[in-house]
Amino acid sequence: MIPALVQLPGSPWPTLPAGMHAASLEDVAAAFATNAWRRELFEGLVLASGKLRLAGCAMIYLDGSYVTGKPRPGDFDACWDPTGVNPAKLDPVFLEFSNGRAGQKAAFKGEFFPSSMMCADVGRAFVDFFQLDRFTGKQKGIIAISLSADPLLSGKVQP
């Protein structure tokens, strides 16, 4: 379940409270796909999630202004757990980081990083970096989505 957003002093929009919050894609849609643009971003997230699941990815972590109170987020940010992923089945766009991840944004309207990949700016793995508010440096929450058990993907992709 996705908790109510909280206001961090110094942050322009309400954020998720600190921690990893387990949710389904349907939960994400109900909480954040609240207008036409946010629904378009959500469709990209679902498409990418299906592709990652086909490659054997079991878990993604959703972050960015998409999971805040920002009225019109530019995109979403996510990282995916590489454990068990078959590189031969992984869409190469998930490993393309050039040009501001333009290939990922064109394909999915969001950005994806392996969760264990180090974010050079802060010296932390992306899954940890995502749990820091970019405006205040304080802890904030992210959403953990189990792809292997997600009901929305069950009818859309074959394992």
**159: confidence class by pLDDT, cuts 50, 70, 90:** very low
Instruction: Kindly give the interhelix angle for 36-54 and 25-32, rounded to the nearest 10 degrees.
Output: 170
Q: CA 7, CA 140: separation in Å to the nearest integer?
A: 10
Query: Is residue 16 helix, strand or coil?
Result: coil
Q: What is the pLDDT of residue 126?
A: 95
Instruction: For 17-27, write each residue's pLDDT tens digit.
Output: 999 999 999 99
146 neighbors 60 (Cβ within 8 angstroms): no
Q: What pLDDT does residue 1 have?
A: 83
Q: Are 91 and 73 in contact (CB under 8 A)?
A: no
The model scores a pTM over 0.85: yes
Among 22, 132, 26, residue whose Cα is nearest residue 77: 132
Structure tokens at 90: 């992984």
pLDDT for the residue numbered 120: 83
pLDDT of residue 34: 96
How many residues comprise the chain? Answer: 159
